[in-house]
Amino acid sequence: MELKHYDSQTGLLDGAVAPGGFERSKIDIPAKRNIAVLGLILLAVAVIFSLFISYQTIFMAYSIFTIFVFLSYLVLWVDGAWEDREPAEPKKWPHVSLIIPSYNSGHTIFKCVEACKKLKYPGKLDIAVVDDGSRDGSYEKLSEMEGIEVIRKKKNEGKASAMNTGILASRGEIVGCVDSDTYPKEDALLHAVKYFEEKKVGAVVLFINTTPPKNFVQAVQEIEYWISFGFFFKTIAAIDGLYVTPGPMALYRKKMFEELGGFDEKNLTEDMEIALRMQ
């Protein structure tokens, strides 16, 4: 297999070009974007207005504005939920390659791999763990596991570099990036891969949730995840405004990486950076 080199200076793979990304949806986008722009304008007006009025009035104004924003999101969420229908099963399921970057992840990586191996998927599925120079003995144990490919990097160069290494070596049409402490449900791919039947789709974001909470702090985090990945993400997706493909697990069309040049290895928020470039 020919491996290409990712140049972090140019953000491109060898011989790659970077056009404008994938075609953007034209379905009612302008009207919905107008709502978002209106909300930002109202926020600016509220901030400026609050500088000239009393504390009680400020509290009342912000309360009204908060309710307005929440209701705006709720309307968009309901509108998106009404229009959103899971696509039909593809006639031919595409080849999927899962990439799991790992660095000293012995406490989570094995459970992650086992969860990925249990994924139900009628098409071809392969799993690769990219060890980023671990020193906790996890690489040696991973090398003994069946049903996965283990790629070893001698030097620790970060998550983005590890994922680029795995993507370059992958063979699937769809590439899934999975954090080493993520445990996907068995039917995750069955639901997510269907969306790639629409050619303009470059990435699919999955709903991320915590493991069953065992204390109050974890329960609060679970609520936060439901609001962020459930309500908020679905809402901004309705206006084509997703700005991040969450690191825990996201699926990408491999062709997209070949066009845009992989993850930026110098960026700590590579999941946000790649999403913004895709836009």
Residue 131 confidence (pLDDT) above 80: yes
The residue among 83, 105, 122 that closes a domain is 83
Specify whether 47 is located in the same domain as 141. Answer: no
Selected residue with higher pLDDT from 94 and 66:
94
Specify whether 107 is located in the same domain as 179. Answer: yes
Selected residue with higher pLDDT from 212 and 109:
109
Selected residue with higher pLDDT from 16 and 131:
131
The domain of 42 spans 29-83
- pLDDT in the model for residue 127: 98
| Structural domain contains residue 254 | no
- pLDDT in the model for residue 221: 82
- DSSP letter string over the chain? ---PPEETTTTEETT----S-SPPP-SSHHHHHHHHHHHHHHHHHHHHHHTTS-HHHHHHHHHHHHHHHHHHHHHHHHHHHHH--PPPPPSSPPPEEEEEEESS-TTTHHHHHHHHHT---SS-EEEEEEEES--SSHHHHHHT-SS-EEEEESS---HHHHHHHHHHH---SEEEEE-TT----TTHHHHHGGGGGSTT--EEEPP--PSPP-SHHHHHHHHHHIIIIIIIHHHHHTTT------TTEEEEEHHHHHHHTS--TT-TTHHHHHHHHH-
pLDDT digits (tens, 9 = 90+) for 159-172: 999 999 999 999 99
Residue 124 confidence (pLDDT) above 80: yes
Specify whether 146 is located in the same domain as 43. Answer: no
Specify whether 98 is located in the same domain as 62. Answer: no
- pLDDT confidence of 10, banded at 50, 70, 90? very low
Helix axes 159-169, 270-278, angle to 10 degrees: 60
| Structural domain contains residue 115 | yes
| CA pair distance 162, 129, nearest whole angstrom | 9
Tokens of 217: 């702090």
pLDDT digits (tens, 9 = 90+) for 28-83: 445 555 666 666 777 777 666 666 666 667 677 777 777 777 777 677 666 665 55
| Structural domain contains residue 248 | no
The residue among 183, 200, 217 that closes a domain is 200
**Which pTM does this prediction carry?**
0.73
- pLDDT confidence of 211, banded at 50, 70, 90? confident
Tally of domains in the chain: 2
| Structural domain contains residue 158 | yes
Look up the CATH number of the domain holding residue 176.
Answer: 3.90.550.10
Q: Average per-residue pLDDT in the chain?
A: 81
Identify the residue whose tokens are 């930026």.
264
Strand duo 203-205 + 249-253: pairing: antiparallel
**Lowest mean pLDDT: which of 35-44, 233-242, 264-273?**
35-44
